[in-house]
Amino acid sequence: MASKRIIHKNIKVTFLLILFLFPLSQYAHTSQKKIVIVLDPGHGGNDPGKSINVKTGKSEKELNLLISKKVGNYLTKNLPFVKVVYTRTKDHYLSLDQRCNIANKNNAQYFVSIHCNSSQNRYASGTETHIHTKAFKKSLKLAQFIEKEFKTRAKRKSRGIKTKKDRKHNLQVLLDTKMPSVLIECGFLTNKTEGKYLNSNYGQEIIASAIFRAIRSMIYYEYPKLKKENQKVEKSNKKKRTYYRIQFMASIDPISTDAREFTKIKQPIERIKIDYKSIYKYKYVVGKHISKKKAQKMLRQIKKLGYKDAYIIKMEM
């Protein structure tokens, strides 16, 4: 009997442990796992990166971080099925081992290391995407997408894809990461024109959006289903249009739209949380008109009911 009781107790403990280890939110995610992209801003902390002859502008480590964050923002804003993991988001030192570990532990789909180049030759310019070897087909494909975007959309000079053979040495972040991985050189800081471009917000945006588009192409290449789904979402988002509506009240605390004070209003009332800075937290809105004239007619009716301060707002929905 005693042993039976102990078993019973253990089952209970195990059950509680399972509940504890798998919170519902995590469980819900398993059906639609996100694609993890690891972005690796090169250098950081006491390692500033390449700075040969760079007299003006930011150091390589700073530019790498700025560009990486812009890439990350593009990805998360446009691709709901992507999760971005950065190896660093601040200016601190990380070993190459640590960078690879972050990618491997997060089961990243792609690893993208972002750098800026330099040369003794101040005329050298252009972008490069490094891979380990062309035998790694997915890395090669991603690199092709990146250099293509640099050349066509970003209008940069592409120096092409570089492998171990071209470099005559290994790059640890490409060798020790278990997923398709690339190291991008966004341009030469030692070249006056390109250095200026890379230091400008405009240049960083162009470079970052090219990298974003390339990663998106790679995802769609590997998962054509996601392309179809996302295009549907994009289309329906575009279908949003502007309506004229009547806001007749605002409040600090939420008031039920069924409240007695609203019984005079015959139209369905919508309570909307105010997302801009305001002492009021909720607004109360009726009507939804494409024609401004009809909205003005409704506004007159609402004012007659005693809501003298009511006014027309434009809402995209």
| Of 42 and 72, CB closest to Zn ion | 42
Span from 46-54, 65-73, 292-300, 301-309 in contact with Zn ion (CB under 5 A): 46-54
Residue with tokens 């890395």: 139
| Of 179 and 184, CB closest to Zn ion | 184
| Of 114 and 249, CB closest to Zn ion | 114
Q: What is the DSSP string of 248-301?
A: EEEESS---TT-GGGTT--SPPEEEE--SS-S--EEEEEEEESSHHHHHHHHHH
Number of residues located near Zn ion, criterion CB under 5 A:
3
Q: How far is the CB of 185 from Zn ion (least distance, A)?
A: 7
Q: How far is the CB of 116 from Zn ion (least distance, A)?
A: 7
Answer yes or no whether residue 41 interacts with Zn ion by CB under 5 A.
no
Answer yes or no whether residue 44 interacts with Zn ion by CB under 5 A.
no
Answer yes or no whether residue 42 interacts with Zn ion by CB under 5 A.
yes
DSSP bridge partners of 47:
44
Contact 274, 259 (CB under 8 A): no
Among 41, 44, 49, 195, binds Zn ion (CB under 5 A): 49
Q: How far is the CB of 115 from Zn ion (least distance, A)?
A: 3
| Of 130 and 156, CB closest to Zn ion | 130
Nearest residue by C-beta to Zn ion?
Answer: 115
* 168 φ/ψ sector (left φ>0, alpha ψ -120 to 50, else beta): left
Q: Give me the 86-125 binding string for Zn ion, x by CB under 5 A, dash otherwise.
A: -----------------------------x----------
CA atoms of 132 and 171, how far apart (whole Å)? 7
Q: How far is the CB of 104 from Zn ion (least distance, A)?
A: 21
| Of 42 and 287, CB closest to Zn ion | 42
| Of 109 and 118, CB closest to Zn ion | 118
137 by DSSP, 3-state: which?
A: helix
Q: How far is the CB of 85 from Zn ion (least distance, A)?
A: 20
| Nearest CA among 220, 179, 219, 173 for reference residue 64 | 173
Phi, psi of 233 (to 5 degrees): -65, -45
Span from 35-43, 226-234, 261-269, 278-286 in contact with Zn ion (CB under 5 A): 35-43
Q: How far is the CB of 60 from Zn ion (least distance, A)?
A: 5
Q: How far is the CB of 39 from Zn ion (least distance, A)?
A: 14
Neighbouring C-alpha atoms within 13 Å toward the C-beta of 49: 26
Phi, psi of 40 (to 5 degrees): -120, 95
Contact 35, 219 (CB under 8 A): yes
Phi, psi of 254 (to 5 degrees): -70, 135
Q: Return residues touching Zn ion (CB under 5 A).
A: 42, 49, 115
